[in-house]
Amino acid sequence: MAAARLNAQDAVQLLEKLIAIPSVSRNEAQTAQMICSFLRENGVQAAMHFNNVWAKAAQYDSSKPTLLLNSHHDTVKPSSAYTHDPFRPFLQDGKLFGLGSNDAGASVVSLLVTFCNFYDASLPFNLLLDISAEEEVMGEHGIRAMVPFFQENNIPIDMALVGEPTGMDAAVGERGLVVLDCTAHGKQGHAARNEGINAIYKAIADIEKLSHFHFDRVSSLLGDIKLTTTQIEAGVQHNVVPDTCKFVVDVRTTDAYTNEEVVELLQQALDSDVVPRSTRIRASAIPETHPMVQAALRLGRKTYVSPTTSDMALMPFTSMKMGVGQSSRSHSADEFVLVNEIVEGVEIYDKYIKTLADIYETLG
């Protein structure tokens, strides 16, 4: 059975159904089943790994590069400020309301329609679909599980188009994130007798170093690495010199260094103990010369560096973020997406695949 030709109305109807099913991160089984059923009903051989729904296009050829189409079907918990049921989709003044409508349901359904419409197409690259779970929490059973799954099943990925609300402009970069738990050590003593070694002062000295710390390499796209001390804690009572002082540093990394290199440099520079909570949220940057960016530019899409993170941070391959809706609506009460935005998204994704194919055909 060949995949059916779908349109924006199909996307809107599917999004209404998805909104009506709660899919808060780590509890997305029902929406995963619905997405999988939708694909199978439209001729796509879809499968699930945990609550991730994936499929290879019918014309998959291991000698060709592979483009991953990715978005996520999980949501955050609904805000208490909602003025209506977040799981009751409704249309009003051209807006489709409901939790996850904008982030990232509109991109999900637009990419699903696009994948179905190109499922049987002969392209100079492979299409691979993954609608992820647990994106909002960067959980272990989301894209973190899918990357090794694809590797183990001999499905290499060369590039990814990530569907997140960007107004269908192209986010060509994201900063990474490393949170550092730092501990300065001193020696406890009585404040009245001027005893001990004050760990607060040692922490202050390290915090001062951080405020002037300079990394030699600078990203041409993302600029300098940003360091910000955001929390500090010390002391048990007013007359005791504290022997430890803990502080937290928020590090926004770039593609100029790996996260591990950044941690190592700061560990060498500070007297305090420096322990990263995680190094997996990596910076992303794609050059303007890449065919993915060139295809977006040919369609008149603007390029920019995104202030928010996404599953791109967990992808060890070239990626670009472009999706339906506006980032400013994400995680907000009474979340909505414009129906016209979905219509535009389906149209632009269709043109984008065709334009990217033209570029690859030219490259030979």
Query: What local confidence, expressed as pLDDT, does residue 194 receive?
Result: 87
DSSP string, 281-306: ---EE--TTSHHHHHHHHTT--EEEE
Chosen domain end from 242, 276, 310: 276
pLDDT of res. 1: 40
Q: How many domains does the chain have?
A: 2
Domain boundaries, position 347: 8-174+284-363
Judged on CB neighbours under 10 Å (0-12, 13-18, 19+), 62 is: exposed
- What CATH number is given to the structural domain containing 167? 3.40.630.10
pTM comes to 0.92
DSSP β-ladder status, 170-174 and 303-306 = parallel
Structural domain includes residue 80: yes
Q: Residue 4's pLDDT is what?
A: 53
CATH value at residue 245: 3.30.70.360
Kindly state whether residue 2 falls inside one of the protein's structural domains. no
Do 109 and 201 lie in one domain? The reply is no
Q: What are phi and psi of 334, to 5 degrees?
A: 55, 45
Mean pLDDT, 10 residues at a time, over the chain (364 residues)? 76 98 98 98 98 97 97 97 97 98 98 98 98 97 98 98 98 98 97 95 98 97 97 97 98 97 98 97 96 98 95 97 97 97 98 98 90
Task: Give the Cα separation of 174 and 320 in Å (integer).
Answer: 9
Between CA 72 and CA 144 the distance in angstroms is 13
Last residue of a domain, one of 230, 253, 276: 276
Indicate whether 298 belongs to any domain.
Answer: yes
* Residue 3 domain-assigned (yes or no): no
Q: Report yes or no on 1 lying in a domain.
A: no
Indicate whether 210 and 168 sit together in one domain.
Answer: no
Domain boundary residue among 276, 309, 339? 276
